[in-house]
Amino acid sequence: MNPILSSIDQKETDCVHLQHKEARWSIEQIQALFDLPFNDLIYQAQSAHRQYHDANTLQLSTLISVKTGGCPEDCGYCPQAARYHTNVEDQDLLSTEEVVSAAKIAKAEGATRFCMGAAWRGPKQRDIAKIAEIIRDVKSLGLETCATLGLLKPGQAEQLKQAGLDYYNHNLDTSPEYYQEIITTRDYSDRIHTLEQVREAGINVCCGGIVGMGESRETRAALIAQLANLDPYPESVPINYLVQVEGTPLYGTESLDLLEFVRTIAVARITMPKAMVRLSAGRRMMSEAIQALCFLAGANSIFYGDKLLTTGNPAIESDRALFEKLGLRTV
């Protein structure tokens, strides 16, 4: 047997059977996964997936922007940054009634998780009070709740938990080494600190990254290593494919080969076998065949609806037709 494959098989076995301590992954081990023949990688990913998940079910989530534009950060991919000239119009925080109305529609269309995003560096206390009210009302509909609000101050995560928040999304975006190429207005440690507060408050962590930002395969491996070595690793891992928006610094970046994106999904699944791996931004740019490969590689959650914050999502009818072709059940 190939010694690299044998070593990875043992690592996967360790991941599956350890009850009290998650296996640790080095960047070199994760690069070895990326470098596997495609068929071997997909086989391992599907095998790991089936250890913890029904291979033919898919969770549907809907993401709404509850406060759009005007963000003071300089994330190079984001059309909501105030300093970039994009077509995104600033919008104040939506009312509770507007968000709840959108949540009802999402539930009627099959979503079981409702995610709320706000373009802030971090929420002010008055914002937390309003968001808490929204969370309580959305939660009362029987939906899982998720929020992405930026950096949290001490005590804010606990308030969100009390309101009924199930998941907090705060992506690492990329590796620590590549981070300054993408963002300069906050440090990597700021993101880690917010994740620690979320964990301490007892909220599930939703944390992933973006690929296709001009990074190397080694950078992608280093991102996955950061995620997989969180203790514990995130319950929810969104993998985003860069959606290039004119006016942002990353517009015009050479596009990442979509089979490399599928590899990234597979590596995330192998290294974080119990997590929900989310096929997130960029899905509109993917053919049905590429999406099917992502599901085969271990993606078992998608964002569903017209928009993913400020960029388009595949039409609901098209999604339903694809699920039927693939024999996927939604939960």
The span from the CA of 308 to the CA of 330, in Å, is: 19
Mark whether 71 is an active-site residue. Answer: yes
Q: Say which of 15, 113, 115, 294 is annotated catalytic.
A: 115
Do residues 217 and 260 touch, judged by C-beta distance below 8 A? yes
Kindly name the residue from 78, 220, 263, 283 that is annotated as catalytic: 78
15 a catalytic residue: no
Nearest Cα residue to 207 out of 243, 233, 242, 187: 233
Write the CA distances from 107 to 103, 155, 240, integer angstroms: 6, 30, 23
User: Is 294 a catalytic site residue?
Assistant: no
Known catalytic membership, residue 115: yes
Q: Which of 15, 146, 207, 294 is catalytic?
A: 146
Give the amino acid at 99: V
State yes or no: is 207 an active-site residue: no
Q: Helices 3-17 and 258-271: crossing angle, nearest 10°? A: 50
Contact 178, 221 (CB under 8 A): no
Classify residue 145 by its DSSP letter: E
- Catalytic residue flag (residue 269): no
Q: Can you read off the two tokens belonging to residue 151?
A: 């950096």
Q: Which of 191, 220, 278, 283 is catalytic?
A: 278
Q: How far is CA 153 from CA 110, 159, 299, in A?
A: 34, 11, 32
Active site (annotated) includes residue 146:
yes
Strands 236-241, 276-279: pairing is: parallel
The answer to whether 147 touches 115, Cβ cutoff 8 Å, is: yes
Give the residue among 274, 324, 270 at the shortest CA–CA distance from 297. 270
Of the residues 15, 113, 206, 263, only one is catalytic, namely: 206
> Which residues are catalytic, by number?
71, 75, 78, 115, 146, 206, 278
